[in-house]
Amino acid sequence: MDLNIGIVGTGWFSKVHGDILAGMDGVRVAAVSGTSLAKAESLAERYPGARGFATLKDMLDGTKLDAVYLCVPPMAHGEIEAELIERGVPFLVEKPLAAELSTPLEILNRLEQKPLIHSVGYHFRYKASIQKLKEALEGRVIGMALGAWMGDMPQVSWWRRQEGSGGQFIEQTTHIVDLLRYTAGEVEEVYASYANRVVHNRFENVSVPDVGTVTLKLKSGAIANISNTCVLPGGVGEVGLSLYTDKGILGWNPDRLEITGAEEKNTYTMNDNPYMKESEAFIHALRTGDSSGILSSYADAVRTQRVTCAALESAASGKPVQIEN
C-alpha cells in the first residue's frame, strides 16, 4: 500500500522534499498545508491527487497521513510538532529545530512521553563523504577543527530577523556545528564574537549579525573554530569543515573530501544526493519500524541547538558559555 505523506510549508524546501517523495516507489504526497489555503492548493497541484488545506488541523482531520514533513521557518516551530506528537503522526522536521532553545526542549519532553518515528533534516550526515571521513578518523587524534559557512544573505523575509531565524549561526551554520559534533564529538564550552558590518546598511529590517566567529572546546580536549558571514555577494562563498589530526588533514566540503598526510593526498568526489538518502531512511523506518538508518534524532539535534544558542548567548554577554551535555 502507498504511504501518504503530508507537507507543512509551501516554500522552496517543501518542493525539494515533495519532489523527492513523489519520485519514490509506493510513496504519495497526499496533502499540503501552510499559511494560506491558496498557497497550499497551489503546491498541492504539483503532486497528482494531493489536496491543499488551510491549516495543519484541517489537513490531519481531512486525510489519513502516514507521516508529515515540516519545512517551515525556525520561528514557526512548536505547535506543529506538539499536534503531530499528540496525534501520533511520525514526522521529518527540517533544521534548525527553532530560532531559540526553549521550544525544542519542550518538544523533546513531549517526544520522550510519547515516542514516535521522526527524523531531523541534518542532511550532510547522509553524504558518502561524511561517512568516509568518519571511517578515516579511526585511529587518529583530532587536535583541532576549523569550520566555515561564508556566503550571502538568503532573501526570504524571515531570515534577516533575529526572532525569525535565530541568525546565521543558528539557521545555517548549524549544519557545520552538527557535523563537528557528528565527527569530533560533543562540545563543552563556546565563546563567540558577532558584529554587524554590511547587511543592515544594504537591506531594510535586518536584526541579525552578518559576521561571527565561535571558539569551541570539545569534551575530547580538542578545540575548534567555526566562523560565518552573510556579507558576500551572491554566488561567492565557501562552506566546509577541516579536521587537523596527528596523521594529517581531513578537509571536507559539500563537493569533496580531501585527505592529506605526510605521504598521501587523496581527493574523493561523491555526487550522491543526501536528501534522497535522508528520505529513504525515514520511509524505510515508516514501512518497517526500523529507525536505525535515521542519522539525526530530535534529541541529538537538540544538542546541536544547545551549542548554536549558547554561541548567541556568549556573543551577547562577551563571556564563555558552558554547554549542558
Ligand X SMILES: NC(=O)c1ccc[n+]([C@@H]2O[C@H](COP(=O)([O-])OP(=O)(O)OC[C@H]3O[C@@H](n4cnc5c(N)ncnc54)[C@H](O)[C@@H]3O)[C@@H](O)[C@H]2O)c1
Q: Which residues are at the interface with ligand X (CB under 6 A)?
A: 8-14, 34-35, 71-74, 76, 94-95, 121, 123, 156, 171
- The secondary structure of 205-227 as a DSSP string is T--S-SEEEEEEEETTS-EEEEE
**Considering beta carbons, is residue 90 or 166 the nearer one to ligand X?**
166
Instruction: Closer to ligand X by CB, 193 or 253: give it.
Output: 253
Ramachandran quadrant class, 46 (left: phi over 0; alpha: psi -120 to 50; beta: rest): alpha
Name which of 92 and 190 has its Cβ closer to ligand X. 92
Q: How far is the CB of 93 from ligand X (least distance, A)?
A: 9
Closer CB to ligand X, residue 123 or residue 306?
123
Instruction: Compute the least distance from the CB of residue 232 to ligand X, in Å.
Output: 18
The least distance separating ligand X from the CB of residue 214, rounded to whole angstroms, comes to 19
Dihedral sign for Cα 192, 197, 201, 203, please.
Answer: negative
- In Å, what is the CA distance from 307 to each residue of 61, 84, 153, 228, 321? 37, 26, 22, 15, 9
Smallest separation (angstroms) from ligand X to the CB of 250: 22
Helix axes 12-22, 37-44, angle to 10 degrees: 30
For the bound state, the minimum distance from the C-beta of residue 95 to ligand X, rounded and expressed in Å, comes to 6
CB of 15 to ligand X, least distance (A): 8
- Size of the chain in residues: 325
Element (H, E) at 56: helix 56-62
Q: Which three cell numbers stand for residue 29?
A: 504526497
Q: Which is nearer to ligand X, 222 or 294 (CB)?
A: 294
Give the span between the Cα atoms of 130 and 76, in whole angstroms. Answer: 30
- Cell representation of residue 259: 585527505
**Residue closer to ligand X, measured from CB, 22 or 249:** 22
In the complex, the smallest distance separating the C-beta of residue 120 from ligand X, rounded to whole angstroms, is 9
Q: Find the residue with minimal CB distance to ligand X.
A: 11
Comparing CB distances to ligand X, the nearer of 8 and 20 is 8
Which is nearest to 149 in space by CA: 215, 243, 228, 234?
A: 228
Distance CA 129, CA 120 (A): 19
Q: Whole-angstrom Cα distance, residue 320 to residue 318? A: 7
- Between 150 and 249, name the residue whose CB sits nearer to ligand X: 150
Least Cβ distance, residue 191 to ligand X (angstroms): 25
Cα 162 from chain centre: 18
In angstroms, the CA 185 to CA 222 distance is 9
